[in-house]
Chains A and B, each alone.
Chain A
Amino acid sequence: MVIFLIVFPFFCALVLALKKKSGLVRRILQFTFCGIIVVADLYFIVTSLISGGKAQYFPETHMVDRLMLVGEWLLLILICYYSFRYKKYYCAVLSVIQTGLITWLELSGKAEIVGYHIWIDRFTLIMALIVGVIGCLICVYSIGYMKDYNSHHSEYKDRRSFFFSMLFAFLGAMFGLIFSNNLIWMYFFWEITSVCSFLLIGYNGSEEAVNNSFKALWMNLLGGLGFAVAIAYSVLELNIVCLQDLVQVGTQVEIAIIPVILLAFAGLTKSAQMPFSGWLLGAMVAPTPTSALLHSATMVKAGVYLLIRLAPALAGNLAGLMVTTIGGFTFLAASMLAISQSDGKKVLAYSTISNLGLIAACAGVGAYEAVWAGIFLIMFHAVSKSLLFLNTGAVENSLGSRNVEDMHGLIVKLPGLAFIMIIGIAGMFLAPFGMLISKWAALKAFIDTNSVLLVIFLIYGSATTLFYWTKWLSSLVAVHHYSDRLKNITKKSEWVALITLSVMTVTLCLTFPFVSSNLIEPFLQDMFHQEVTAVISNGNIFIMGMMLCAILVLPLAVRFLTFGKKHKIVMSYMGGANTGDDRSFTDSFGNEKKMYLTNWYMEEWFGEKKMLKPSLILSTAGLVVLMILAIGGAL
């Protein structure tokens, strides 16, 4: 079953790459593939849970290892081809070094250490759920979206078959990555995701897209280099090639901090933490499904997945300090930067970076409450963020803009999409919805481990997060009189994805106690070898439930509270006389003046010009100093 989940998406990718002609056949093929993956994924998760939720496979896999080596060389050739074509030689150099290192390890036979190549536990299952279900929903959405995208942007070449095939390849690589226990296997899939994202970001072929795709490539290759060196070191010095063993040893042997910190470094680059945040922001030039996939279900989640796996080995040492400092700092800095953005997708991108920072910080703390919070953040974030991205894409197709300012009054113009967006935004930060629960648990864990700096980052970061989300939320509900409803051109396939995701957002909020007690707590018990108590008490869960109900019954309460009095509806007050449509007024000279309302962006405080460079410099300095200290201290 595991093999099927890894191999089948690649097979789909191959089929779609060959199916160049667009039309009904291809659409049906895509739907079927997505359906098969989701069903197989759910079947796999349920059967594994019934059989205890844990399994290991394949201690001996010589043939597959050789095949992967061939695959790695193919990737190398691909990267070299593109780097020479666009004269970005540094990418080729990075790639040659790491592939050479891995090849040498494999061929010299040093890496043939006994251990299970595939490892499945409850955390893997959660990730499989996210990758399979959300990933497939994004694929379904992209069918309708890409059609509009290519008709809007006729200047770009229609390479849809390539695009779809890359989406599926991405899913396959993600499945491979989360199931692997052997670091070399993991590294192989890690590289595939890097290359896939490079190809997806460069989809347009415009100059900006190419530049940004190379930015993504070199940053991820740098992380990959860290990964490769970590493998080499742990094989040569510790005689370990499996992640689980490394984590196990990492809690006891001091020198193990070197591979651990290098892996953590790789995780930080992949999850776009500062100073590597640039590639994820650059990824916006790609079509929306790419961003949704990169931001929610795959890619960046691979980075934090690795960090959470490493969590026990990070507890209370310099490697952990590095991860928490960078993560906490990124949480604060990215949420401040998000304030100054008006491009909807850019706000989402910064918010992703910021939330990943929080997850990384949770992993770095290494206490079980923190890891609990981290896993929940991954889940809630995956669902709400993919919802928001897909929805922004749908709004963009109907509205012709994805600027938050243009979404002013969306509730009148496109009520359906506006409601979905409200659900998504509420899911991102509002009590009693998902993310807040995990933020709460994270806060508690930070205090319990006496991390004062993290607490400070968290409280300020929460305040700035509150600002940029509420700003967006209040733009949506603004009502202009005499606004016309826009024609909603969202396709059926897009609606399927949007509605499923909104239902999932709400369901996850309602069922999180069950997820916690059945999936996450047993996993933490195995991971930390200690009794795990519920992080959020039942009483509080009950109160949150009440809050959720209160929000739902609010419309009824209004009837009651206003005593059935008739309201009089008038035009809004503008200082001068409102000319009748809330858009212009008569000034003191009797002339008609247009009025335009905007949100606050505080450019001179939180603008990219002002904040981005210092944050990058600070985080680079922190990263370098802490890595040197950790590695130097262990040697």
Chain B
Amino acid sequence: MTTAIALTIGFIILGPFIGGLLEGMDRVVCARMQGRQGPPVLQPFYDIYKLFNKQSILVNNIQDLLVCGFLVFVVFSGVLFFMGEDILLVFFALTLAEIFMVMSSASANSPYSSMGAQRELVQAMTYEPMLLLTAIGFYIAAESFRVDDIARTDIPAIVYLPGIFLGYVFILTIKFRKSPFDLSTSHHAHQEMVRGLTTELSGNILALVEVAEWYETVLLLGVIGLFFVNGTWWGLVLALVGILVSFFFETFVDNVFPRVHWDTMVKSTWMFTLIAGGINLFILVLIR
């Protein structure tokens, strides 16, 4: 219980810092892969400081409300996760957050932001099956939906769930907005529809979106960690290594693949979910 509370408080306070730091590292690594020097590691913090000090320019009065909904529910699902609650509920709350974000950019009625919203929705539809399947996989492996029970099993979940792990890493590319699946909005400047999802957001409201995404990064990587932990110290080390490797794998993928058309994304992700996740699930049920 005390560790759960410590983790939760750690998440609320340190979450954005870890997320921001990871983004800074990502940018450095990314630049080096492209043979550039890249910004300093702390650059994301400078950016967000600046954003927070700017006046926000909105196009209507419900945008900021919905963006706050996004932030609140991302943090909420993170809190649930680190408190060791039900993992399905964590994903449900995360989906709710996502819907707030989509509604916020759809409300702006600008072509770019609307298009971003529709694409974001397609992305949500694309990764949702795998997200649910991940929770189901944990449930069968640990016989509980509760995160604290899953974290305490003797054998790390990855042993039972290699296929589901791969599927999860696959959809992480969508979640982290990495190429080839950065359709709705991109971290890079070569987005064909201005900024897509966040076109109509600016100043401190945009900063809130950034912060929420940092929280989300930490939460999603926490799920990666959950595949490895088993209540021992080496489990923790394994989890940390797993998290870093997956994170930099995403950066690598980002630099290697060009952006794809949305239907390629849906098709490939759904197929991968069905093959890697489905077969894994089927075998799990058989040996249960």
Contacts and interface: CB of A to CB of B under 8 A. Distances in A.
B71 A561 contact: yes
Contact of A474 (B96, B103, B132, B270): B103
Contacts of B133: 455, 459
Contacts of A567: 55-58, 64, 205
Contacts of B57: 567-570
Contacts of B128: 459, 462-463, 466
A484 to B, nearest CB: 15
A575 B270 CA distance: 34
A431 B58 CA distance: 28
A573 B69 contact: no
Nearest to A469: B99
Interface centre among A432, A474, A540, A568 (most CB of B within 10 A): A474
A543 B103 contact: no
A566 B140 CA distance: 51
A401 interface: no
A561 B66 CA distance: 12
A7 interface: no
Contacts of A460: 129, 270
A582 B88 contact: no
Nearest to B282: A452
Contacts of A411: 62
B113 A447 contact: no
Contacts of A554: 65, 68-69, 72
Contacts of B270: 460
A572 B110 contact: yes
Majority secondary structure of chain B interface residues (helix, strand, loop or mixed): helix
Interface in B96-112: 96, 99, 102-103, 106-112
B104 to A, nearest CB: 8
A580 to B, nearest CB: 13
A563 B68 CA distance: 12
B222 interface: no
Interface size on A, as a range, is: 35 or more
Contacts of B93: 431, 547
B208 interface: yes
A356 B145 CA distance: 26
B112 A436 contact: no
Interface stretch (B10-18, B31-39, B118-126, B240-248): B118-126
Given A447-B139, A479-B60, A567-B58, A459 B102 contact: no
Nearest to A572: B110
A557 interface: yes
Contacts of B64: 558, 562, 567
Nearest to A569: B58
Interface in A463-490: 463-464, 466-467, 470-471, 473-475, 477-481
A443 interface: yes
B136 A455 contact: yes
Interface string B249-288: 0000000000000010000001000100010011001001
A547 B76 contact: yes
A64 interface: no
B219 interface: no
B137 to A, nearest CB: 10
Contacts of B107: 474, 477-479
Contacts of B106: 474-475, 477-478
B125 A597 contact: no
Interface in A51-91: none
B184 to A, nearest CB: 12
A22 interface: no
B122 A600 contact: yes
Nearest to B278: A456
B49 to A, nearest CB: 14
A477 B111 contact: no
Interface in A544-560: 544, 547, 550-551, 554-555, 557-558
Interface in B144-176: 145
B107 to A, nearest CB: 5
Contacts of A455: 133, 136, 281
A432 to B, nearest CB: 8
Contact of A431 (B96, B113, B114, B124): B96
B59 A570 contact: yes
B43 interface: no
A569 B58 CA distance: 5
A547 B65 contact: no
Contacts of A550: 72-73, 76
A605 interface: yes
B109 A479 contact: yes
B22 interface: no
B61 interface: yes
Interface in A512-565: 539-540, 543-544, 547, 550-551, 554-555, 557-558, 561-563, 565
Contacts of B194: 573, 575
Interface string B80-103: 100001101100110110010011
A571 interface: yes
Given A455-B136, A475-B106, A562-B205, A543 B59 contact: no
A427 B57 CA distance: 33
B131 to A, nearest CB: 9
B124 A572 contact: no
A409 interface: yes
Nearest to B132: A459
Given A554-B65, A567-B56, A572-B109, A477 B103 contact: yes
Contact of B60 (A467, A543, A569): A569
Given A470-B124, A474-B103, A561-B68, A479 B59 contact: yes
A595 B117 CA distance: 17
A462 B132 contact: yes
A470 B68 contact: no
Given A443-B136, A569-B59, A471 B121 contact: yes
A104 interface: no
Interface string A373-394: 0000000000000000000000
Nearest to A446: B136
Interface centre among B66, B68, B109, B281 (most CB of A within 10 A): B109
A475 B114 CA distance: 10
Contacts of A450: 285, 288
Nearest to B117: A474
B56 to A, nearest CB: 5
A386 to B, nearest CB: 23
23 contacts: A430-B99, A432-B92, A432-B96, A443-B132, A447-B140, A452-B278, A459-B128, A464-B125, A470-B124, A471-B121, A474-B103, A474-B121, A475-B106, A478-B107, A479-B61, A479-B62, A479-B107, A539-B86, A565-B204, A567-B57, A572-B113, A573-B199, A574-B111
Please provide the 4 A-B residue pairs with the shortest distance between their CB atoms, ordered closest to farther. A474-B106, A572-B110, A463-B128, A431-B92
Interface of A: 409, 411, 430-432, 436, 440, 443-444, 447, 450, 452, 455-456, 458-460, 462-464, 466-467, 470-471, 473-475, 477-481, 539-540, 543-544, 547, 550-551, 554-555, 557-558, 561-563, 565-575, 582, 595, 597, 599-600, 605
Given A463-B128, A466-B95, 4 more contacts: A444-B139, A473-B99, A477-B103, A572-B113
